[in-house]
Structure formats: structure tokens, C-alpha cells
């Protein structure tokens, strides 16, 4: 029997089917079409970029194992993304991406509509073959409100998002700025707003873009003498979502052009949604006039989710993946990974992978090993900025106050505590700590560290401050 793409793929499917949950198989493998076999390279067609990312993220190992079984060590998988654009234009665009090696995949530009293949098209988002300008929203449909579980940590941001989605441009939340630490759901929520708007107002032009990509596009536009096209393009958008605006810091040219685009959109009742890893007050190297615009609307913070929310996020994820897991294990993971939803999901994914590839049962012991690895590997380095933020939040003052020249006792103490933790948790020198915390010299920092040591052993209240902050810094 001759080996064809179909026969190879059928054998892979048989293997995969035996090794994953039926629901997951149905969702993620049945829609795939085997297209071509060239030597040891099998091309499969998937319905969307999201689909491809999902496969790479969740099933790359099993794909690899099954393909290697069929085609040997040199086996390669090529994805062909074939999607019909959102406007019902049946002309699909396709993109080929090799599998497996995450970094190789990343370094390619896989954002299909962005990847402008026909050089005569000036506008980076115009879909070939359509006369009117249609803009692909770049939204990930899986990042929906439905999948964004509510908890105390995100209630304000989530409801503000819903309000904006109900009446884009028509609320006082314009811009809506969502801010918070890494992996807490900023990108997800930003997409959810866009997805919901597209649902309710299909005629509206919605665009999601990262500040980084926006910057690259702008630089390209300037190089090609297309600055005006670039600006015009952004000015026709109804809902502009820019992710990770902190990336614009220090980039004055891009800030400048964004300022103009922002003003135009705002004046015309268009909605702007921004995300950032910092509150506007803490953003550095962003022009004042832009910062003041950011503050026009609403800034809503995403905080660390509490235990219940973490459990529901995990359950929802397992449910969507079609995987069952004992309650006590879910609890264990939720209890031990506290500060970042992405890590929470990552740990559960590793757990599922470990158990299915090594055919081990999911037990608390296995969970412990994996969670430990996760927590250790991802423990982030604490920065002096972060310490100042935690300390000033704790004492309910802003960072400027913490750094000010005042001799008021409670402020001096807060500052000394910040210095003490900076010495303890970072590798920065006394001089550098001093210069970052209110422009003091190294002797002041040294004195602060000694004072905190002394007071911690003599003053009960003070000791409690230090303990509380230690906890906050080590979550
Ligand atoms: P950020 O942009 O803040 O770094 P992301 O939006 O990328 O974080 O979120 C990281 C992961 O956590 C994503 O997979 C996202 O779906 C998930 N996530 C975050 N918050 C929630 C939530 N409230 N409910 C469900 N999933 C969430
Ligand atoms: Mg993000």
C-alpha cells in the first residue's frame, strides 16, 4: 500500500485518539485535514491561527510522538492555516508554518493578515481581494467574557469591560485602561471586549494590536514614507485596542503619532481600550500629555485572583479541554500557585501532559512535583520598583510621597523599609538603592537597613509591618 498523507495521518489519529480525552479529540483533531506528504513532511490544514496555536501549545508532544512513529526521526509537521475571513468573503488566505520548535515558530511572523504578502498593498491590514477596506480584528475568539471568570480581583475591570462592550465610545470609560501584573488576564479581557463588540455590532471596525507591533508598523511606515497612510488607517477604526502600552515608554515618535490618533478617535466618539503592566502614575518615559489622556477615562486594575477564583479558572480550563481531574488536586494547585493565572494554567497543562505521556495517574504527589518545579522556575526577581510599589501600597501612600524629602516619621519609616527590602531582595548596591529610592546616598541606605533590623526586634507593630510586607513580596 502506498503511503499517502491521508494514510499517515490516519495512523497518527488512531494513536492520538487512544491517548487523549474523546472530547478533546473531537474538538481539536477531527477538523484537521491532511493535505500533502513531501518526504517526511506532512502538511495538515487547520481552520484558524488560534487552532494552530492551541495544537502547538497543548498537543505538540503527542503530534510529535505519533508522527515520528510513522515517518521516522526526521518527521516534520507543517500547518496550513486556512481561514475564511470574518466578513464572509470565501476567499481564504493561507499561511504555512512548520511545527514543533516553539522558538522557530515564534520568530516567524504568523499573524496572517498582518503578514502582507502583496507589496503593492500599503495598508498592513487590508485583506487581499476585497475592494472596500475591511480590517481583520485580530481577535482571539477563545478570549471571551464567558471564559473570563469573575472574582473580586477582576470585578471592576470586567464590568467596565462589559459596559464598554455594550456601548463602545458611549460611556465615560474612554479610554478604558486595564492594568495589572503579568499573567493576570489583561490581554484576555481586552480581547473579550473586542469579541463582544464584534458580536453586538458586526459593522464596527475593531482592531486589536500590541503596542509592540504598533510601534514596528509605525517605524516601517516612516521608512517607506507612509506615515500619513498609517495615521489614516488608524483613524478609521471604531474600536482600537492597544495591548501593553508600557512598551511605548521612551519611544517618543510612536507616542507622538499615537497621541494624534488617540485624539482623533476620542473626538469622534470612537472607543479606545488600553492595557498596561503599570498604573498610569507609575509609567515611566511616557509623555505627560499622553499620560493625562490615559487618565481621562477609567483605569481598572486586575489583581491577583483569590483562591475561589483560581479554582474556578482551573475547573473551567479543564472542562474546556475535556479533561477530568480530582478535586483535591485542583485545590492543591490552586492553593500553591497564587500570583499568576498563566502559571496556574501552565501547571495544570504540565500535569495533564505528564500523566498522559508517562501513563501515570494524576496523584497529589505528581501534582506536588510539578507545582514545585513551576513555582521554582518562575519565581520572578523582585525589582526595586516593585518593592517601592508594594511598600507604598501597604502604607497607602504614593511612590512620590515615599521618595519625598519629608521627615514625617511614618513616611521615613516606609522609605527605610523599602530600602531594607531592596537590600535584602535585589543585588543592587547601596548607592544604587539610594539613588532609586528618593535620591539618597549609600550611607542613608545603610542606616535604614540597621534601623529596620533594630526596630523589628524592639517594636511589635513595626515587626508586623516587616512581616506583612515580606509576605506580599514573596507571593
Ligand atoms: P496578561 O496579558 O495580563 O499577562 P493574559 O491575558 O495573557 O495575561 O492571561 C494569562 C492566561 O490566564 C490566559 O490564558 C488567560 O486566558 C488566563 N486568564 C487570566 N485571567 C483569567 C480569568 N479571570 N478567567 C479565565 N482565564 C483567565
Ligand atoms: Mg498580555
- Spans of all domains in the chain: 3-102, 155-302, 307-376, 384-474
- Residue 124 CA to residue 118 CA, distance in Å, equals 10
The closest alpha carbon to 455, from 468, 466, 440, belongs to 466
Does CATH number 3.40.50.970 belong to domain 384-474? no
Report whether the peptide linkage leading into residue 175 is cis, meaning its omega lies within 30 degrees of zero: yes
DSSP string computed for 360-408? ----HHHHHHHHHHHHHHHPPPPPHHHHHHHHHHHTT--HHHHHS----
Query: Beta partners for 209?
Result: 242
Ligand 1 site, residue 374, Cβ cutoff 6 A: no
- Long-range contacts for 428-437 (Cβ within 8 Å, ≥24 apart)? 428/384, 433/384, 436/384, 436/385, 436/388, 437/384, 437/388, 437/402, 437/403
CATH of 307-376, picked from 1.10.10.10, 1.10.8.60, 3.90.180.10, 2.60.120.620, is 1.10.8.60
- Residue 246 CA to residue 280 CA, distance in Å, equals 9
Residue found under cell 534601623: 451
Residue in 139, 159, 181, 183 to alter for ligand 1 test, most ligand atoms within 8 A of Cβ: 183
- Protein residue closest via CA to atom 11 of ligand 1: 342
Ligand 1 site, residue 210, Cβ cutoff 6 A: no
Ligand 1 site, residue 276, Cβ cutoff 6 A: no
Residue found under cell 480550563: 317
The closest alpha carbon to 438, from 424, 423, 418, belongs to 418
pLDDT at 93: 43
- Residue 168 CA to residue 146 CA, distance in Å, equals 19
Phi-psi region of 291 (alpha: psi -120 to 50; beta: other; left: phi over 0): alpha
Neighbours of 317 (CB within 10 A): 19
Ligand 1 site, residue 317, Cβ cutoff 6 A: no
Q: Which numbered atom of ligand 1 lies nearest the CA of 191? A: 6
- Residue 146 CA to residue 158 CA, distance in Å, equals 11
- Residue 186 CA to residue 169 CA, distance in Å, equals 20
Residue found under cell 497564587: 338
Which residues, at least 6 apart from 240, have a Cβ–Cβ distance to it below 8 Å?
207, 209, 234, 261, 265, 270, 271, 272, 273
Residue found under cell 479581557: 189
Q: Which numbered atom of ligand 1 lies nearest the CA of 244? A: 2
> 205 with 135: CB under 8 angstroms?
yes
Q: pLDDT tens digits for 266-325? A: 999 999 999 999 888 888 889 999 999 888 899 999 999 999 999 999 999 898 888 888
Q: Which numbered atom of ligand 1 lies nearest the CA of 190? A: 6
- Residue 247 CA to residue 356 CA, distance in Å, equals 39
Residue found under cell 499517515: 8
User: What is the pLDDT tens value at each position of the chain, 475 positions in all?
Assistant: 578 999 999 999 999 998 888 877 887 898 899 999 998 889 898 876 667 777 887 888 889 889 999 998 888 888 887 654 333 333 344 556 665 443 333 323 333 333 333 333 334 444 343 334 567 899 999 999 999 999 999 999 999 999 999 999 998 999 999 999 999 999 999 999 999 999 999 999 999 999 999 999 999 999 999 898 899 889 989 999 999 999 999 999 999 999 999 999 999 999 999 999 988 888 888 999 999 988 889 999 999 999 999 999 999 989 888 888 899 999 999 999 988 899 899 899 888 888 777 777 888 888 888 888 777 655 556 889 989 999 999 999 999 999 999 899 999 999 999 999 999 888 888 988 999 999 999 999 999 999 999 999 999 999 999 999 998 887 5
- Residue 392 CA to residue 403 CA, distance in Å, equals 10
C-alpha dist (Å) from residue 223 to 122, 216, 336, 432: 13, 11, 49, 39
Written out in words, the top-level CATH class of the domain with range 3-102 is alpha beta
The closest alpha carbon to 287, from 243, 242, 244, 248, belongs to 248
Q: pLDDT tens digits for 384-402? A: 998 999 999 999 999 999 9
Q: Cell numbers of 80, please?
A: 496550513
CATH of 155-302, picked from 3.90.45.10, 3.40.50.300, 3.30.70.380, 3.10.105.10, is 3.40.50.300
Ligand 1 site, residue 341, Cβ cutoff 6 A: yes
C-alpha 93 – ligand 2 centre gap (Å): 26
- Residue 259 CA to residue 228 CA, distance in Å, equals 14
Amino acid at each position: 500500500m502506498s503511503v499517502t498523507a491521508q494514510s499517515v495521518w490516519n495512523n497518527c489519529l488512531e494513536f492520538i485518539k487512544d491517548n487523549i480525552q474523546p472530547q478533546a479529540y473531537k474538538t481539536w483533531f477531527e477538523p484537521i485535514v491532511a493535505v500533502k506528504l513531501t518526504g517526511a513532511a506532512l502538511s495538515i490544514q487547520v481552520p484558524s491561527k488560534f487552532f494552530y496555536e492551541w495544537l502547538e501549545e497543548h498537543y505538540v508532544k503527542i503530534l510529535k510522538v505519533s508522527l515520528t512513529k510513522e515517518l521516522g526521526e526526521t518527521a516534520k509537521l507543517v500547518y496550513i492555516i486556512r481561514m475564511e475571513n470574518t466578513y464572509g468573503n470565501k476567499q481564504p488566505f493561507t499561511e504555512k508554518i512548520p511545527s514543533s520548535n516553539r522558538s522557530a515558530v515564534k520568530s516567524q511572523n504568523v499573524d496572517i493578515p498582518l503578514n502582507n504578502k502583496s507589496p503593492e498593498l500599503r495598508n498592513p491590514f487590508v485583506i487581499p481581494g476585497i475592494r472596500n477596506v475591511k480590517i481583520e480584528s485580530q481577535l482571539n475568539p477563545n478570549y471571551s467574557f464567558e471564559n473570563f471568570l469573575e472574582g473580586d480581583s477582576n470585578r471592576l475591570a470586567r464590568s467596565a469591560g462589559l459596559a464598554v462592550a455594550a456601548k463602545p465610545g458611549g460611556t465615560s470609560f474612554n479610554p478604558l485602561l486595564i492594568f495589572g501584573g503579568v499573567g493576570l488576564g489583561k490581554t484576555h479581557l481586552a480581547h473579550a471586549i473586542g469579541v463582544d463588540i464584534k458580536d453586538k455590532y458586526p459593522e464596527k471596525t475593531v482592531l486589536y494590536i500590541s503596542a509592540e507591533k504598533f510601534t514596528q508598523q509605525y517605524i516601517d511606515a516612516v521608512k517607506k514614507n507612509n506615515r500619513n497612510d498609517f495615521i489614516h488607517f488608524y483613524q478609521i477604526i471604531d474600536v482600537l485596542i492597544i495591548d501593553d502600552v508600557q512598551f511605548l515608554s521612551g519611544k517618543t515618535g510612536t507616542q507622538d503619532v499615537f497621541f494624534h490618533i488617540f485624539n482623533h478617535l476620542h473626538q469622534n466618539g470612537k472607543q479606545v481600550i488600553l492595557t498596561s503592566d503599570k498604573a498610569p502614575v507609575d509609567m515611566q518615559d511616557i509623555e505627560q500629555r499622553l499620560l493625562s489622556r490615559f487618565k481621562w477615562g477609567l483605569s481598572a486594575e486586575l489583581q491577583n485572583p483569590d483562591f475561589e477564583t483560581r479554582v474556578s479558572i482551573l475547573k473551567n480550563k479543564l472542562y474546556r479541554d475535556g479533561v477530568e481531574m480530582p478535586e483535591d488536586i485542583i485545590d492543591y494547585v490552586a492553593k500553591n500557585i497564587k500570583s499568576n493565572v498563566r502559571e496556574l494554567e501552565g501547571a495544570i497543562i504540565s500535569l495533564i501532559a505528564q500523566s498522559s505521556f508517562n501513563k501515570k495517574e494524576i496523584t497529589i504527589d505528581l501534582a506536588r512535583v510539578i507545582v514545585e518545579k513551576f513555582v521554582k522556575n518562575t519565581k520572578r526577581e523582585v525589582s526595586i520598583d516593585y518593592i517601592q510599589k508594594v511598600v507604598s501600597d501597604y502604607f497607602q501612600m504614593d511612590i512620590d510621597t515615599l521618595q519625598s524629602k519629608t521627615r514625617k516619621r511614618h513616611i521615613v519609616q516606609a522609605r527605610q523599609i523599602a530600602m531594607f527590602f531592596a537590600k535584602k531582595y535585589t543585588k543592587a548596591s547601596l548607592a544604587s538603592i539610594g539613588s532609586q529610592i528618593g535620591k539618597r546616598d549609600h550611607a542613608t541606605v545603610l542606616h535604614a537597613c540597621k534601623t529596620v533590623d533594630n526596630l523589628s526586634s524592639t517594636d511589635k507593630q513595626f515587626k508586623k509591618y516587616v512581616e506583612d510586607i515580606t509576605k506580599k513580596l514573596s507571593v
